[in-house]
Structure 1
């Protein structure tokens, strides 16, 4: 578990300091997982702090800016399960100031309590390290006043859920505290209907099924998620899928989320053996089916160029209106980039099967 206070320091800020001369401010507090393998603390922190080099981490350790269970340690210290690691620096954590930006939003429904928008691929939902501007939140604070906040008052006005930067599709935004509370409860109780369309590599053996497996941070690479089928790590996750169009080398799949874990569809489909087409994080950005040579290679590379992201779209969204208790259901078309590549694969599949 990593707590990043207002997104913490950049990696280059983790240099040696003298804790005896300056007041220190805690920037990171990391609690090692119960199943944490023994690992050197410098490597442990490099895996968890963006853009932090091992040298700068070691310098911070040498000056006792890094502590484990409130005690200074050496760089050779081996992290154990449930160790509490803190990183302190001589300046306060960055305060996140939300900059209102006149960014157009594709709003498909709005009333006094909420709005539903169709987020384009490539747009980050909320400000974070390396993405302080140009986000959905920057647009929201420009277009709307007094939006409620979530996450214990963190500056994420209106947000009750999010979708990945390079995933397109529908999101619901709360415009009142009442709506925020009610919608958050629906997400917690898994009564929200969320349907995604994904283009995946290969054709699943079963035309429909349920993928069940805890999802949590990978023990090998903390920047990505992994499936833990034995439940030893992560959180319970369930994805229902149905193959809509088997296209020999790829398939269009409908996925319904029963739970909503980080990267759930992406990592569950990888676990099933069918990574999302174009998903660089989970291995889908290379040719995984077919002979990677000649005209077929050129065809796939052209598809990658037309769709330079994971082929995932939040197509429909359904929930109970917080105030009227009416069931609301929304649907959206596939975006142009995903639709274009899907049409190309449909034609290619017809060609090789004729």
Structure 2
């Protein structure tokens, strides 16, 4: 948060491009989250919150370089805001950064880390990227999610422009997502899995024919191809066209080749404490000027890589990864 100065009982704030286009009331609520909404609304109505020295409506759309003046009696919560970057969190983020563009940050999320919630990637971002763009109302955040035990690429918005563009590409199904996993069994030839899935409790299952299932279920589409095979285990390449919770885990299990080590979906295998599923690549098919890249890949975590080497062999695994990259960019 950038406080220019305090003048005649008002704190002055400068708006950045990441605040542009947002309503005045929403910007102030974001920059002063500890202040009751009612106090903010009444402050705008009474002229205790102004824009460029003038009383404004709650619906006023902020422009870059606008100055918001907030009466000190309302902005009392400023002292509770943390505006410095946590150096430890910043170093942790640097270790998992794969690509950084003007509008997006691509991270290689470790397995075992939540995307949102307590002790999550979102919390790490809040601590390690404070102050990006000096925005009053915007902060970097994950643009999609990965399950706790899934590692790999996740996109982070650095600007509003980047967030809007990435979301647009997802809505238009122009974003190709590729995952690498080790399965118990596997398809003999490339296979397209198309099911209607429904979430029940902590598990995702294939929907039945009941009216309730038909109403609540969602269509899931995944293509899968065997890349390596040895001793009943396969290294598979998945491409998801939809993004439902546990989609790959549920569909591969339904197809008869669950992820090795995924006990919840029938994939218990000796020597696997948990499953290996890695978001390996995100691709737009062509260079996107706003996102700043055409395709991005994240290497397998050391633990997963070493496990795969112990099964398939180092030379075979490295050749398989080269083949996967060829498939993705072709």
Q: Which one has a bigger Cα radius of gyration?
A: 2
**For residues 131 and 275 of structure 2, what CA distance do their matches in structure 1 show?**
34
2:185 equivalent to 1:196: no
Give the unaligned 5+ runs of structure 1: 1-96, 288-299
Which deviates further from its counterpart, 178-187 or 192-201?
178-187
Deviation of 1:345 (Å): 2.1
Question: 2:163 corresponds to which residue?
Answer: 180
Checking the alignment, whether the CA contact within 8 Å between 2:129 and 2:140 is kept in structure 1 is no
Give the TM-score taking structure 2 as reference length. 0.60
Question: 1:225 corresponds to which residue?
Answer: 204
**For residues 322 and 144 of structure 1, what CA distance do their matches in structure 2 show?**
24
Deviation of 1:213 (Å): 0.4
2:129 equivalent to 1:164: no
Question: 1:315 corresponds to which residue?
Answer: 280
Offset from partner CA, 1:261-299 (integer Å, 9 cap, x none): 111111110110111011132222x23xxxxxxxxxxxx
**For residues 148 and 82 of structure 2, what CA distance do their matches in structure 1 show?**
18
Deviation of 1:172 (Å): 0.9
Instruction: Identify if the C-alpha distance between structure 1 residues 226 and 146 changes in structure 2 by more than 3 Å, giving closer, same or farther.
Output: farther
Write 1 or 2 for the structure with the bigger share of helix.
Answer: 2
Checking the alignment, whether the CA contact within 8 Å between 1:121 and 1:166 is kept in structure 2 is yes
Question: 1:85 corresponds to which residue?
Answer: none
2:200 equivalent to 1:215: no
Instruction: Identify if the C-alpha distance between structure 1 residues 279 and 156 changes in structure 2 by more than 3 Å, giving closer, same or farther.
Output: farther
Deviation of 1:332 (Å): 2.2
Question: 1:143 corresponds to which residue?
Answer: 128
2:115 equivalent to 1:112: no
**For residues 123 and 102 of structure 2, what CA distance do their matches in structure 1 show?**
20
Deviation of 1:137 (Å): 0.9
**For residues 247 and 189 of structure 2, what CA distance do their matches in structure 1 show?**
19
Give the TM-score taking structure 1 as reference length. 0.56
Question: 2:322 corresponds to which residue?
Answer: none
Instruction: Identify if the C-alpha distance between structure 1 residues 274 and 147 changes in structure 2 by more than 3 Å, giving closer, same or farther.
Output: farther
Checking the alignment, whether the CA contact within 8 Å between 1:141 and 1:147 is kept in structure 2 is no
Matches within 5 A, 1:89-108: 102-103=88-89, 104-105=92-93, 106-108=96-98
Q: Specify which of 263, 286, 296 is matched with residue 330 of structure 1.
A: 296
For the residue of structure 1 that corresponds to 2:303, the secondary structure is helix
Offset from partner CA, 1:175-211 (integer Å, 9 cap, x none): 111211111121222211111001000132x321100
Checking the alignment, whether the CA contact within 8 Å between 2:132 and 2:139 is kept in structure 1 is no
Matches within 5 A, 1:283-294: 283-284=266-267, 286-287=268-269
Matches within 5 A, 1:1-354: 102-103=88-89, 104-105=92-93, 106-127=96-117, 132-133=118-119, 135-145=120-130, 157-204=140-187, 206-218=188-200, 222-228=201-207, 232=214, 233-284=216-267, 286-287=268-269, 300=270, 303-304=271-272, 308-319=273-284, 323-324=289-290, 327-346=293-312
Q: Which has the higher contact order (CA 8 A, sep 6+)?
A: 2
Cα RMSD between the aligned structures?
2.9
